[in-house]
């Protein structure tokens, strides 16, 4: 174990500043911040001016820096920084989910080529130790599925809609409230449309099952279409609507992956996870399941995950990627029968190539079908692309 | 990594049989059961007779066995087996919480002396990977408290009392239902009186903070006194009553530990964990917290934790006990101010040396006080030992 870890910090937003503050107040962590690179040098910052630079190469080429902590938004810039740092013999800690999800194949090759460690616990559900557990605990091939509430914005909105059922409080109100409280961005598209959940689903798929999956191929629907009828109907059947990232092993060669609103039984512990809290459910063949929960975003929670990665770097820790080594991981296959709920007009409901309709309702309140359908065929149907139709998965657990 | 792990299994109850079945069906786990030791040789068992023996030394002295899996109830017999096996150069996996909790000091010394691995993930909350996470993830000294619903029996009973609030369904009914469903033993004392939670609290205290604590010194109250008034009053104040094991760092040298009914705010994720499900909340200085949840008992869930330990033995894993190395861990101190809820008769309420009474109610329904009190003084008061008085902690989170 090295005695102290000397880091270069890139990005001083809420995560970077949170990390800076904890490290300054805790010398027992044995982490020393040697230099901080920021974009806007004119902005006032509550850190010693001598640490600040606007030139990233001053960190990457600094022989007194052991590891680069990269906390910027731009995925391409983050990738350029990570690769340059690793090639300069430095470990890298990143919180950038888009970079990890879209460049994972290259990032794994870079780690092998440079023999440097790249850790990114913070990229997926912030302080929930999910990647470490998938790497170190769920290693015996008994995992069958990984299901996550991986986005706090959608969970906050759906929780508020559920608790407000029966009132006039609707999707737009819940989104506004989430924005006020800092749980949603001013442009919430990435979150409410499920893009964020897709990125995290592919990172989970790699560490859970060894599968390298292109995020653009993951089946995705957001929550903007959910309404009071859906929420109330779910409750009447003993279900709660959650937006879930779901990765399931179909056989040893194939996985199905989607990020979708899902009706979950209220006896399933993941249905209890409310407001902005995230959770990941790990199911095994036994059958058995565990749930890891915590804050999935926010400066302090993300900084904590980065700190945990830094403390592992002091122990020379690297991800082994032992699942799917040598490109032998499972591949994506959505040719599987699932159960779905589709509410919309007659034409849209009928555009879904149902295998069997289990419930088929036309009423003044709503027209909807719950039935079995091929997952890929559902994703290819006009209903799935229609912005007035609500499409959700109907889970048996 | 060794190619295959050859084990001797001691005990073939629901955990042992569950483990046997999973191992037989999954050759890819690379675990081979060489021999099984049972107590009653006359009982019919659905395993090959050639594997069965009644003589434990046939396993311990067998040079073809790499590891002993010990799944028996008797803590003293389990300790004798574990020490003999380690001295014979074998690794040991145990699910016996009482053995681990009461003999931890000796077991750590044995591991050092024999250089053998002893793993016991299954001893605390079965399949929830809590010990591994405390050993490997929460290593940077930022942990401030560990709070667990570590007993499924008490959580089932309290959940049913909460959902039945307002009806005539009381403690005895809930206990009977838990027994019917297999969530409580015919003699439920160990669970409902909190002894089980005490054992787990000391195992958690060691792996979380490096403290070696004698279970008999942990402050403990059970749930047998809880009534409809307590449950309804809790709900009216936005709280839920849970039975919790709580370990909190007071300073770098001292911990307080108790296993007590506790009023928890319903915004705290641990309050959402219901029925027989267990959960452990890990709070850090950040401030931030994560929650790990899952089934804390049952043959399959316990077998899964044992299997995970076996797969780690193949990677030559050992607990490092890096916290509190060389006996420098914190010690127990209950000289701390807490907030408590005491409902009972006037004399009992007044027997508590309150520092301050925040709420003091005398009514037809109930007499109770919520106030601040020294934890040790509370534990020493007559009210704490009175079987007609309900004593709970009043949590601020």
Taking CA–CA distances from B252, the nearest residue in chain A reads A28
Mean of the pLDDT values across residues B196-220? Answer: 97
| pLDDT higher than threshold 80 for residue A2 | no
What is the average per-residue pLDDT within B6-34? 95
CATH 3.30.360.10 is right for the domain spanning A131-296+329-394: yes
> Are A301 and B286 a contacting pair at CB < 8 A?
yes
Q: Which of B273, B291, B304 sits opposite A284 (nearest CB)?
A: B304
pLDDT at residue A304 greater than cutoff 70: yes
pLDDT at A140: 78
At residue B28, the pLDDT reads 87
Which residues on A lie below 8 Å from B274 (Cβ)? 269, 272
Confidence check: pLDDT of B5 > 60 = yes
Are B286 and A269 a contacting pair at CB < 8 A?
A: no
Q: What pTM was estimated for this model as a whole?
A: 0.95
The domain over range A5-119 is classified in CATH as 3.40.50.720? yes
The separation between CA A339 and the C-alpha centre of its own chain, rounded to angstroms, equals 23
Instruction: Give how far A335 is from chain B: nearest CA, Å.
Output: 26
Residues of B whose CB is below 8 A from A312: 139
pLDDT band at A231 (very low <50, low <70, confident <90, very high): very high
| Pick among A15, A122, A126, A136 to test the B interface (most B CBs inside 10 A) | A136
8 A C-beta contact, residue A47 and residue A78: no
Catalytically annotated residue among A17, A90, A97, A200? A200
Residue B277 with chain A: CB contacts under 8 Å = 269
User: A121-135, B81-95, B132-146, B368-382: lowest mean pLDDT where?
Assistant: B132-146
Task: Check residue B396 and give its pLDDT.
Answer: 85
Question: Cβ separation of A294 and B294 shorter than 8 Å?
Answer: no
Task: Out of B285, B290, B308, name the one closest to residue A127 (CB).
Answer: B290
Write out pLDDT tens, residues B163-198: 999 899 999 999 999 999 999 999 999 999 999 999
**What's the CA angle centered on B215, arms B212 and B216, to 5 degrees?**
130
Contact B290 A29 (CB under 8 A): no
- Write down the mean pLDDT value for chain B: 95
pLDDT score for B1: 56
Listed by start position, the domains of chain B span: 5-119, 131-296, 334-397
- Which tokens go with A390? 């609500």
Confidence at B315, pLDDT banded by 50, 70, 90: confident
Query: Which residues of chain B lie closer than 8 angstroms to A132, CB-CB?
Result: 136-137
Instruction: Give residue-wise pLDDT tens across range B250-293.
Output: 988 999 999 999 999 999 999 999 999 999 999 998 889 999 99
pLDDT, average across residues B292-308: 93
Residue from B136, B148, B319 whose CB has the most chain A CBs within 10 Å, to mutate: B136
Per-residue model confidence (pLDDT) at position A175: 97
Mean pLDDT of chain A: 95
* Structure-token pair, residue A142: 């008994």
> Tokens for A9?
């910090």
The pLDDT value given to residue B339: 98
Architecture of domain B131-296: 2-Layer Sandwich (3.30)
What fold characterizes domain B334-397? Alpha-Beta Plaits (3.30.70)
Chain A residues touching residue B156 (CB < 8 angstroms): none
Contact A22 B304 (CB under 8 A): no
Q: In Å, how far is A37's CA from the nearest CA of chain B? A: 23
Q: Is the pLDDT at B243 greater than 70, yes or no? A: yes
The residue-averaged pLDDT of A277-306 equals 93
Taking alpha carbons only, the member of B202, B175, B173, B205 closest to residue B187 is B175
The arithmetic mean of pLDDT across residues A352-374, rounded, is 97
Q: Strand A367-374 and strand A356-362: pairing? A: antiparallel
The predicted-structure confidence for A194-218, as pLDDT tens digits, reads as follows 999 999 999 999 999 999 999 999 9
Within 201-230 of B, beta carbons closer than 8 Å to A belong to none
Q: Between β-strands B143-149 and B239-251, what pairing exists: parallel, antiparallel or unpaired?
A: antiparallel
3-state secondary structure chain A: CCCCEEEEEECCCHHHHHHHHHHHHCHHHCEEEEEEECCCCCCCCCCCHHHEECCCHHHHCCCCCCEEEECCCCHHHHHHHHHHHHHCCCEEEECCHHHHHHHHHHHHHHHHHHCCCEECHHHCCCCCCHHHHHHHCCCCCCEEEEEEECCHHHHHHHHHHHHCCCCCCCHHHHHHHHHHCCCCCCCCHHHHCCHHHHHHHHHHHHHHHCCCCCHHHCEECCCCCCCHHHHHHHHHCCEEEEEEEEEEEEECCEEEEEEEEEEEECCCHHHHCCCCEEEEEEEECCCEEEEEEEECCCHHHHHHHHHHHHHHHCCCCCCCCCCCHHHCCCEECCCCEEEEEEECCHHHHHCCCCCEEEEEEECCCCEEEEEEEEHHHHHHCHHHHCCCCEEEEECCC
In this complex, the residue of B141, B288, B301 whose CB is nearest that of residue A301 is B288
Q: Is A277 on the interface with B (CB under 8 A)?
A: yes
């Amino acid at each position: 174990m090295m005695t102290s870890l000397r880091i270069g910090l890139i990005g001083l937003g809420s995560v970077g500043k949170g990390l800076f503050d904890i490290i300054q107040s805790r010398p027992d962590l044995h982490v020393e911040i040697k230099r901080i690179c920021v974009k806007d040098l004119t902005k006032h910052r509550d850190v010693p001016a001598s640490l600040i630079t606007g030139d990233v190469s001053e960190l990457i080429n600094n022989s007194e820096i052991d590891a680069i902590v990269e906390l910027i938004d731009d995925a391409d810039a983050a990738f350029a920084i990570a690769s340059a740092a690793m090639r300069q013999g430095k470990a890298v800690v990143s919180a950038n989910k888009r970079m990890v999800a879209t460049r994972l194949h290259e990032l794994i090759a870079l780690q092998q080529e440079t023999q440097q460690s790249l850790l990114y616990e913070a990229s997926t559900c912030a302080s929930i130790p999910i990647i470490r557990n998938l790497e170190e605990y769920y290693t015996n091939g008994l995992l069958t599925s990984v299901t996550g509430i991986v986005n706090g914005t959608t969970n906050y909105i759906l929780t508020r809609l559920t608790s407000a059922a029966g009132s006039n409080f609707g999707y737009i109100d819940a989104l506004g409230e989430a924005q006020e409280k800092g749980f949603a961005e001013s442009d919430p598209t990435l979150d409410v449309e499920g893009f964020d959940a897709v990125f995290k689903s592919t990172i989970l798929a790699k560490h859970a099952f060894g599968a390298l999956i292109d995020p653009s191929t993951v089946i995705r629907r957001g929550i903007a279409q959910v309404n009071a009828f859906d929420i109330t109907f779910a409750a009447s059947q003993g279900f709660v609507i959650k937006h879930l990232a779901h990765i399931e092993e179909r056989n040893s060669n194939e996985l199905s992956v989607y990020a979708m609103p899902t009706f979950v039984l209220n006896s399933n512990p993941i249905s209890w996870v409310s407001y902005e809290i995230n959770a990941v459910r790990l199911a095994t063949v036994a059958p058995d399941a565990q749930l890891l929960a915590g804050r999935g975003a926010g400066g302090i929670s993300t900084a904590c995950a980065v700190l945990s990665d830094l403390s592992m770097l002091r122990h020379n820790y690297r991800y082994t990627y032992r699942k799917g080594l040598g490109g032998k991981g499972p591949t994506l296959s959505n040719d599987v029968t699932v159960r779905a709920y589709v509410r919309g007009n007659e034409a849209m409901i009928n555009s879904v190539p149902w295998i069997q309709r289990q419930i088929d309702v036309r009423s003044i309140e709503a027209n909807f079908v719950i039935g079995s359908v091929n997952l890929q065929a559902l994703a290819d149907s006009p209903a799935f692309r229609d912005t007035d139709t609500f499409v959700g998965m109907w889970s048996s657990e």
